[in-house]
Structure 1
Amino acid sequence: MQKSKNILIAPLNWGLGHATRCIPIIDAIIKNGDRPIIASDGLALALLKKEYPKQTFIELPSYDISYAKEGQNLRLKMLKDSPKIWMAIRNEHQMLQEIIPKYTISGIISDNRLGLYSNLVPSVIITHQLQVLSGSTTWLSTQLHLHYIKKYDYCWIPDADGPDNLSGKLSYNEDFEIEKVYLGPLSRFKNTGNYQKKYDLMVLLSGPEPQRGIQEKRLLTELKTYKGEVLFIAGKVEKEQKVEKKGRLTYYNYLSTDGLQKALDRSEMVLSRSGYTTIMDLQKMGKKAFFIPTPGQFEQEYLAELLDQKEIVPYATQEDFHIQMLSRVEHYKGLGSIQSSSRSLSSILEETFSSVNENSDPIPSSLST
């Protein structure tokens, strides 16, 4: 009988997108009869603890990423913060040397955490950013990212391999040193076709502070003149779920995956950031949407412009957005117009880690908290 493996899976704590797109991978690990060892920090770790309360968790060093209050200052702030980010990468790499024997790790899956590569067991990095947009410094930021990607055995790309992909030029690079595996889009949701409209608009917030909070205040003010039923998900993962009803607006601090699935099923359109994980989720659900990219976040700005040019999703800058702009949505095709298939995660996991010596001992119960 095949013995189960312990697979370390570690998303970056930058907003919630890296954590949420790891959910289908964690589910596939469990489905294969293996054990996910989940490692992250901050809100990403808190969210996954709520999703998988019975699994094993490890807290990793924080990259301590936050946005500038003014979008044009983001690149300068990231440059200023780079020494502490590199230190966190170094610290998590050193910590990994202890994690592998302690938890009997057979393989590593890192979603954009750059220090979790190893020569002891196969290591995978998940990223759709083989080109890292940063304005005039795009070449440099891309080369820095590729430097770390090449330390991994495989690069899993959550997108289709072809011109009709979701991420445009971001997921393509002709560097043949990188072992690329295109997974197709990743989403924790299922398109059940069970659409029963309850809300005219669903607002879905995410991302690091202070921009998440700035956007929340702006939108709550704009929505005072909106005539439809609104479901507002603030994207704040707190100890307890909170819900408030104010007129035609229902406000949640956060929703679980099951809660968000039901919310998306009942919402006619979505107003959100143009983060890549959000795009994959809304494509899976076949939703119409309106995007407001995070100021200064070149990737989100590029994706929003790309989908607008294709007449799939309209967008506006945070500074220019007004609630009346939502009327543009009806003239766009929506993300349901993009057809793409995803590969079986279970089979990819088996292919990637099949050569690993299988673990014989379960995790001690003292580590399973």
Structure 2
Amino acid sequence: MKRVHDHKRILIAPLYWGLGHATRCIPIINALITHGFEPVIASDGGALELLRKEFPKLKSFELPSYNISYPKKGNSFKWKVLTSSPHILKTIKRENAIIKTLVETEHIDGIISDNRFGVRHPSVPSIYITHQLKVLSGKTTWLSSKWHQDIIKKFDECWVPDFGGDANLSGILGHIKKPTFSIKYIGALSRFKKEKRPETIDILAVLSGPEPQRTQFEEKLINLFKKGNKQITLVRGIVEDQQKITKIGEIVLYNFMTTDELQNTINSSKLLVSRSGYTTIMDLAKLQKKVVFIPTPGQYEQLYLAKMLSDKKIAPAFSQDSFSLSDLKWEANYSGFSNIEQHTDFKRLFSLF
């Protein structure tokens, strides 16, 4: 293949299941640019729109959507995923065909897939990013974990955005005994920087994740916050062409924020309310913020992470159904996130390319 570009081109493709996979790819994209590579973005939906806004000068491509959604009742989530399996398998095949074409037409030298199963190529170094070496699904955890690990084996390396020792953020999700594939623990990833700012916002609620649970969470929070008199900012996590700002009483609602805006807002907040998604946990660990977690109903991963952090007395967690304003009182027996070393040796990681 004849080279037509001055820099090696690395395709980076996050899954669109909420915005967490896309946002944790932002520091990787920035590091690729810093180390002389040319990133090429590929995703779908809100994840693709977010990365296009963050990196308007980079070339980007749309991939087929997995169309993963949550049922209205969280306890039927496993059945929802099972019935979606035929569509997911078709999407993986379509995705893989598109990647084969892109590798040829865009002269791709390396691939970084964040949980996109079909984004790999046999003749190009292909990396898979995940914090879920073990996929929790109740009684079928062994089966869902084996299925995911079989996918990971098809890639050259698996990068886990966490630490390899006991002081880690993902617990049993990102740490398994006797792995049969290459794992590199690359440290926690966050697009944010901790800054000292006046804490002018009493409560910041950051929403994310697939529908309809995202909307149900938003409606629950608005109804609760309307009853109080605190300064509330709510970021809806809906990426659109234009930023929209509305007010409901003391609540200021944003449809989305850019990285810089959200970084400033989080640093200016006394307390956060959010899902217990793993990317959010990495961000708040970096920023050392106080948070109340409301895991997505039926989402085993978020339920596990919220309980783990609550058991460690780092942050309290409450169910979406029972959550009330009285739960927003930060209790003294929770420590919050302590400072953790966030350095990632990107030079070493990128040497594969």
Q: Secondary structure at the match of 1:164?
A: coil
Displacement of 1:16 in angstroms is 0.3
The corresponding residue for 2:343 is 342
Residues 160, 340 of structure 1: 8 Å contact kept: no
Displacement of 1:345 in angstroms is 2.2
Q: Structure 1 residues 3-12 or 340-349, which shifts more?
A: 340-349
Residues 286, 342 of structure 2: 8 Å contact kept: no
The corresponding residue for 1:12 is 15
Aligned residue among 161, 180, 194 for 1:191: 194
| Aligned positions of 1:117-128 closer than 5 A | 117-128=120-131
The corresponding residue for 1:310 is 312
Structure with greater contact order relative to length (CA < 8 Å, sep ≥ 6)? 1
In structure 1, the gaps of 5 or more residues are: 354-369
Alignment TM-score, normalising by the size of structure 1:
0.92
Displacement of 1:54 in angstroms is 1.0
Aligned residue among 137, 142, 166 for 1:134: 137
The corresponding residue for 2:147 is 144
Q: Secondary structure at the match of 1:216?
A: helix
| Distance in 2, Cα, partners of 1:217 & 1:314 | 21
| Distance in 1, Cα, partners of 2:331 & 2:142 | 34
Aligned residue pairs total 349
The corresponding residue for 1:213 is 215
Deviations 1:137-196 (A, max 9, x none): 10000000001000000000000111110011110123443111101100000113x221
| Distance in 2, Cα, partners of 1:285 & 1:222 | 26
Q: Secondary structure at the match of 1:225?
A: coil
Aligned residue among 164, 181, 184 for 1:178: 181
The corresponding residue for 2:229 is 227
| Distance in 2, Cα, partners of 1:348 & 1:3 | 21
| Distance in 2, Cα, partners of 1:139 & 1:20 | 29
The corresponding residue for 2:324 is 322
In structure 2, the gaps of 5 or more residues are: none
Residues 290, 329 of structure 1: 8 Å contact kept: no
Residues 226, 251 of structure 2: 8 Å contact kept: no
Q: Secondary structure at the match of 2:273?
A: strand
Structure 2 residue identity aligned to 1:240: Q
Q: Secondary structure at the match of 2:242?
A: coil
Displacement of 1:3 in angstroms is 4.5
- CA-atom RMSD in angstroms: 1.3
Residues 204, 232 of structure 2: 8 Å contact kept: yes
| Aligned positions of 1:254-273 closer than 5 A | 254-273=256-275
Asked if 1:73 is matched to 2:88, the reply is no
Deviations 1:291-336 (A, max 9, x none): 000000000000000000010000001111001101144431112x
Q: Secondary structure at the match of 1:105?
A: coil
| Distance in 2, Cα, partners of 1:329 & 1:30 | 42
| Distance in 1, Cα, partners of 2:42 & 2:120 | 14
Residues 239, 256 of structure 2: 8 Å contact kept: yes
Residues 133, 298 of structure 1: 8 Å contact kept: yes
Residues 241, 255 of structure 1: 8 Å contact kept: yes
Structure 2 residue identity aligned to 1:249: I
The corresponding residue for 2:51 is 48
| Distance in 1, Cα, partners of 2:171 & 2:339 | 13
The corresponding residue for 1:92 is 95
| Distance in 1, Cα, partners of 2:347 & 2:255 | 33
Aligned residue among 163, 168, 172 for 2:171: 168
The corresponding residue for 1:26 is 29
Percent identity between matched residues is 47
Deviations 1:80-104 (A, max 9, x none): 0011011101111121111101000
| Distance in 2, Cα, partners of 1:147 & 1:342 | 29
Structure 2 residue identity aligned to 1:81: S
| Distance in 1, Cα, partners of 2:302 & 2:234 | 21
The corresponding residue for 1:287 is 289
| Distance in 2, Cα, partners of 1:84 & 1:256 | 32
Residues 222, 322 of structure 1: 8 Å contact kept: yes
Structure 2 residue identity aligned to 1:182: Y
Cα distance change of structure 1 residues 190 and 338 upon mapping to structure 2, 3 Å threshold: closer
Structure 2 residue identity aligned to 1:186: L
Cα distance change of structure 1 residues 233 and 32 upon mapping to structure 2, 3 Å threshold: same
Residues 243, 252 of structure 1: 8 Å contact kept: yes
Deviations 1:222-266 (A, max 9, x none): 111223211110111111100123332211111000100110111
Structure 2 residue identity aligned to 1:279: I
Alignment TM-score, normalising by the size of structure 2:
0.96
| Distance in 1, Cα, partners of 2:339 & 2:76 | 34
Displacement of 1:341 in angstroms is 3.3
Q: Secondary structure at the match of 1:100?
A: helix
Asked if 1:251 is matched to 2:253, the reply is yes
The corresponding residue for 1:242 is 244
The corresponding residue for 1:298 is 300
